[in-house]
Structure 1
Amino acid sequence: KQAAEMALDELEAKWGDKYEKVIRSWREKWHLLSAYFKYPKAVRKPIYTTNAVEAVHRQFRKLTKTKGAFPNENSLLKLLYIGIQQASEKWTMPVTNWRQTITQLSIYFEGRLDDIIKL
């Protein structure tokens, strides 16, 4: 958490004049943003790396950035559908050290996983 606070200070020193509102917003909401750091590394990594919405957006951008225009809406939808089909194959990869992660989650969120997973 301290390293993140120092990085935010460095960011503000470098870009504070240009992005004043953004940095001020991060500082005002730091108590929410920094909640992430209360979890052990085994929990933080899956939280950080499994943002499904961002993964989909990244895939869409990758597919559409080289295309100038689409003749109609259907052609865009077809391209995105095929892209999602290909990307979803990668989403079946297991989370590294999942057993350790699930154990830590069961400690931090006691009782919430009992109906789903038997430890």
Structure 2
Amino acid sequence: LNASLRKITKTRRIFPTDDSVLKLLYLALHNISAKWTMPLRDRKPAMSQFMLMYGERISS
């Protein structure tokens, strides 16, 4: 993941604003996550912890 993001930011040296960097990284993460095929490890224990801490924010 870090290597993919670094590759994207290295190709563009100059960014007009900080928001443009964040937008580029957001779009890159969206494209990278579409290529992930492996299931998430330990998802159930993590989700149960998130539900305890942030139950009102998470929809099941």
Note whether the superposition's TM-score is higher than 0.5. yes
Q: Which has the higher contact order (CA 8 A, sep 6+)?
A: 2
Unpaired runs of 5+ in structure 2? 46-60
More helix by share: 1
CA RMSD of aligned residues (A): 2.1
The share of aligned pairs that are identical, in percent, is 39
Runs of 4+ in 1 over 4 A off after TM superposition: none
Counterpart for residue 78 of structure 1: 23
Aligned residues between the structures? 41
Which residue, out of 24, 28, 38, partners 1:94? 38
Matched, 1:64 2:14: no
Which one has a bigger Cα radius of gyration? 1
Listed as ranges, the gaps of 5+ residues in structure 1 are 1-54, 96-112
TM-score, normalised via structure 2 length: 0.58
Q: Note the 1:1-119 alignment, pairs <5 A.
A: 55=1, 57-91=2-36, 93-94=37-38
TM-score calculated relative to the size of structure 1: 0.31
